[in-house]
Every structure is written in C-alpha cells, then in structure tokens.
A and B are shown apart, each in its own frame.
Chain A
C-alpha cells in the first residue's frame, strides 16, 4: 500500500468504540432487512395467490345450479361445446392422467432406481461425475422438446414395432413421461442411498456379502422411505406435466382400454381448450376447476413426499 505513514501512529484510544455508523448505512440496512423479510414471506403469498386466483375464476361454476360436482368428477362425458347437451365430466381425463402416470412410473422407477444404485454404489468417481452431468442435462430438456420427440421419433417407432394404428397414444406418452421423471427419481434416490450410513455397508461387507446382496438386503430396505419419496415426486411431475403429454398422447377423451389407445390428460385438456373457451363462460370456468383439482392433487403428493424426505434428513 502506498499510504505514506503506515508506521504505527497508535490509533486514538477507543477509536473503534467511539465510532458511529453512518446514518445512511444503518437505515439502508434496516430497509434491506425489511426487503429480505418481505421476499421471504412472498413464497406464501404466491402459493396462496395461485390457489385463490385459480379458485376465484372457477368458483361461479360451483354455484351454478346446472353443475354438479359428482358429475364433474365421475362422469366420463366431456362435451363442453355441445349446443344441446353440455357435459362437463372429467373422469376420462382423470383416468388418462392416472394411466399415463402409472405407465410412466412402471417404466421409470426400475430404471431410475437401477441408475441411482449404479451411480451411488458401483461406478467409479469419474463415471459418477459424468453420469450426474448427463442426468442434469436430461432434466433440462424442455418439455415441448420431449413432446416433439414423442410426436416425431417415438410415434414412428411405436407404429413400426407394435403395429399400432397411430403412434401418439398412451404408450408414447408413458415413455416420454418416464424419460422426464427419471432424472428426479435418480437424484432423489441417490440422495437417499447416500444417506444410508457407511457403517451399514462396512458391516455387511465384513460379513462377506456380495454387493448384489448388499444392495438388495441392506441398502434398499434402509433407504426405502427416500426411494418412496423419489417415486412420489416423480408422480407429482408426471401428473403436472403438460406439453409433452399434450403432444404425445393423442387427443381422444375416453377411458383407455389398452396402452395403444390415445388418451387425454387433465393438463393437456386445459392446454388444448383454454384458448378456445371464451373468458367467463362455463367452459372456461370448468377448465379453471380442473386447475384447482390439479393444484390440490400435486399439493397433496408434494406434501407427502416432503414429509418423508424431511423425516429422513432428521435421522
């Protein structure tokens, strides 16, 4: 430093305690802290806001005499634009959402768990880093690109190898959704496996078990809650996914009989009809009601998954 006189002029006694912070610094700090609190609380405001605004738009239809909630939930008849016989039953779409999600989970869970086990227990450090980066990339692919892949690549493959008449169907949506859910499942399950204490592993290996037995008899039981949470978060993602299923599952509103049937999910239904429903019409309000249903559904799933994950962390 080029300070001319840095050779110990002893500072005045108690210079520090006599010092006062500038007024603007004190006030600025108060303002910033107030902002921090405000932003901290904002998350609650946003979640409540989402529920309230969506519910507010949907509410008038609930008060409407012609509308019955039982019919809404349990009737498979969806004729929102019919002139004479309007029907707002979303049961077929609930079935569609459930079937596509279940199919996706059937594919994604074994592969996701397998990959998580491989990453956490079997591969070397370098491979692990690479795989994790690839999974991060996999998670980053936009859903509309997945939808596009379903529409072009997957549907062609399905038609070619299964002989199904159309390629955009439940199987297609299931596979695409599975690929989208895998990254979540892998990363959460890997965390869960990592949380199993190393002493378990060492104890088991000292007994001379193979790594296969170690995984099957020690790690999976010990990590089962975390794995459950991983699957639940995957389900949450699957239920909420919009663009990919919109493009890959076809558009027929009916309860599917086989994996080659085309289906429509709750999310895809909103996406495809919201543009055509005039604001304020019954149709528009029913679409918001579906939004309320989706919000509640994913809220519940996430809540359960979070409770499980927190339970693990506390241990």
Chain B
C-alpha cells in the first residue's frame, strides 16, 4: 500500500525501461507494416479519383463510347457487366448453396467427401485464365454456345462457385449443433431440420456469400475475355436491355483493359474514370456485404 515501497519494487529500473522501449518499438514496427499496405492504397485511390475527376459524372455512365472508344461513356460495358453478374449468379447461387448444404449437413467424414472438399478448394485455386480455357473448350466449342453471354456467365459461375460454397458453409456451421439435435429428437427429418432451423438462421451468411460472389464476378476479366466479351458493341444510350443472351457483350473490366492498353489516343480521364466506376461498384457491393453482416450480427437470435 505504501507508494514508496511500491516504487521500489515495481519501479522503472533500467532493464524494465529497456523492455518498455522494446515493447513500444515492436508495436510501432508492426503497426507501420500494417499501415504500409493501407496508406499507399488510399493514396493510389485518391490519385485515381483526381485523374478521373473530369469524366466522373452521370453522363459518363449513361453515354456510349464514341470515336473508336476514345471519347464518350461506358454504358454498354456497364450493362454488360450487370448481365454477366446476374446470369452467373443465377447459376452459381443455387448450386453453391445446395453444395454447401450437402457438405455441411449430409456429408459423412469419408474419403469421397474429402475428395469433394479438395475439389472445392482446388476450384478456388485454379487460375482465372485456366477457367477461361475451360470455358472456351467446354461452353463455346463443345456445348456450341458460341462466344456469348451464356458461355461467359457459365464460366464465371463455375469460377465463383467456391466463394458461395465457402460463405454458406461457414454460415451453416455457425448454427449450433444442439438446434439440430433438438429437431432430430422430435422426429424431424434431416431436410425438415435444415428447412425449419438451419437455413433461416444462416440466411445472413448466405446473403453475404452471394454479395461477395457478385463483387468477384463483376471484377473478373480473364474468364470472360475469350468466352463472350468483346471490345466493342454498338448499343443505344441508356438502353437497359441491349443484349440477347446468345450474343456477345461488353464488360467494364474488359473495357478498362481495352482502353488502357489497346486503343491509342483515348481521352486521358476516361480510363481512370472507368477504373473508378469498376472499383466503386465492387467496393460498394463489398461494403453492402459487410454492413449486412454487422447488422445481422447485432440482432442475433440466440
């Protein structure tokens, strides 16, 4: 209790001071490493926005590219991306959710299901350009869909399947086992248990997975560039339904690649603005996923 004895016992002797210094240094060093990835990113995004500023307006979004894509806007690419994203979602969401239900609720721990797990992990690891080759071989040629929105979105769907599977599995696994046992004990079948208790309580995680799939699909370039996306396609300004599903379309990601590497003489701010639109689209979708997660976590039911 005596302050002076306390000081004598636990005071700052030189070795203690050295330790404190070391501690502060460690915190500072690791903090700096964390900052080293974030600060440049913010600076870069800021730079992109500044360079893009002259073109960033609603007109840019709604206008079609003009004069050999050196002027005008990005409407056809924007709509094309929406087409690809939603079509691929229509394929991958049901398959991915059901696959996750299988893996988490039905699969026993045997070699066959270990192989399935391995397949999911590898599906996530296959390079995007290999997915493109697969899409070209399987959908464009073998299935005779040709270069089309269908081929491209199927390729995207298979590529983004692991995203949904992983998110859904995590959500399903977070439902306590005791809930399932309570249902089984009253004679509910496996599916009734899943339907009544498991799925309603993992819906938020599943939604997060779907949103992340959207963000992933919107940004991908390689898998679509050889399966159904073209450099240029003439479309009316602001037209919401410019494409048939068996036609090729434009996509934002591909458009950014094209105008920044393949087309000479593009008005300077256009590629920057395209990059910002794509980036903003993807980050906004991700932000939606994060806020949904935070919101639903705050009103958890158990």
Question: Which of under 10, 10 to 19, 20 to 34, or 35 or more describes the interface residues of B?
Answer: 35 or more
Chain A residues contacting B38 (CB-CB under 8 Å) are: 131, 134, 138
Residue of A41, A117, A241 near B30 (CB, 8 A) is: A117
Chain B residues contacting A14 (CB-CB under 8 Å) are: none
- Residues 163-183 of A contacting B (Cβ, < 8 Å): 179, 182
Q: Is the CB of A288 within 8 A of B219?
A: no
Given contacts A210-B22, A240-B126, contact A303 B118 (CB under 8 A): yes
Q: Is B257 an interface residue (CB 8 A)?
A: yes
Given contacts A53-B142, A137-B286, A145-B279, contact A240 B34 (CB under 8 A): no
Given contacts A53-B138, A142-B279, A143-B219, contact A288 B125 (CB under 8 A): no
Q: Is the CB of A142 within 8 A of B219?
A: yes
Q: Is A60 an interface residue (CB 8 A)?
A: no
Separation of A144 and B220 alpha carbons in the complex (Å): 8
Separation of A174 and B194 alpha carbons in the complex (Å): 46
Separation of A70 and B139 alpha carbons in the complex (Å): 31
Q: Among A46, A54, A114, A210, find the residue whose CB has the most chain B CB atoms closer than 10 A.
A: A46
Chain B residues contacting A236 (CB-CB under 8 Å) are: 125
Chain B residues contacting A44 (CB-CB under 8 Å) are: 115-116, 119
Chain B residues contacting A137 (CB-CB under 8 Å) are: 283, 286
Q: Is the CB of B123 within 8 A of A47?
A: yes
B82 CB, min distance to chain A CBs, angstroms:
15
Given contacts A42-B99, A43-B161, A53-B138, contact A299 B116 (CB under 8 A): no
Q: Is the CB of A114 within 8 A of B30?
A: yes
Q: Is A111 an interface residue (CB 8 A)?
A: yes
Separation of A215 and B33 alpha carbons in the complex (Å): 15
Number of A-B contacts (CB under 8 A): 260
The stretch among B63-71, B174-182, B221-229 that forms the contact with chain A is B221-229
Q: Is the CB of B226 within 8 A of A274?
A: yes
Q: Is the CB of A29 within 8 A of B191?
A: yes
Q: Is the CB of A37 within 8 A of B102?
A: yes
Q: Is A301 an interface residue (CB 8 A)?
A: yes
Q: Is the CB of A211 within 8 A of B37?
A: no
Q: Is the CB of A274 within 8 A of B132?
A: yes
Given contacts A44-B115, A115-B37, A291-B130, contact A39 B225 (CB under 8 A): no
Chain A residues contacting B62 (CB-CB under 8 Å) are: none
Chain B residues contacting A159 (CB-CB under 8 Å) are: none
Q: Is the CB of A270 within 8 A of B126?
A: no
Given contacts A35-B98, A36-B106, A123-B31, contact A301 B125 (CB under 8 A): yes
B113 CB, min distance to chain A CBs, angstroms:
8
Separation of A87 and B47 alpha carbons in the complex (Å): 43
Q: Is the CB of B222 within 8 A of A242?
A: yes
Q: Is the CB of A36 within 8 A of B102?
A: yes
Separation of A213 and B30 alpha carbons in the complex (Å): 13
- Residues 32-57 of B contacting A (Cβ, < 8 Å): 32-34, 36-38, 40-41, 44, 47-48, 51
Q: Is the CB of B130 within 8 A of A50?
A: yes
20 additional contacts, CB 8 Å, given A40-B102, A43-B119, A43-B120?
Answer: A36-B98, A36-B105, A37-B106, A38-B98, A50-B131, A57-B133, A110-B33, A144-B221, A153-B47, A210-B23, A210-B26, A215-B26, A240-B126, A243-B222, A243-B257, A270-B133, A274-B132, A294-B130, A299-B122, A306-B118
A-B contact pairs, 9 of them (CB 8 A): A40-B103, A42-B99, A114-B32, A117-B30, A118-B31, A152-B271, A212-B26, A243-B253, A270-B129
Leading 9 A-B pairs by shortest Cβ distance: A142-B219, A40-B102, A114-B33, A240-B127, A39-B98, A118-B30, A212-B26, A302-B125, A53-B137
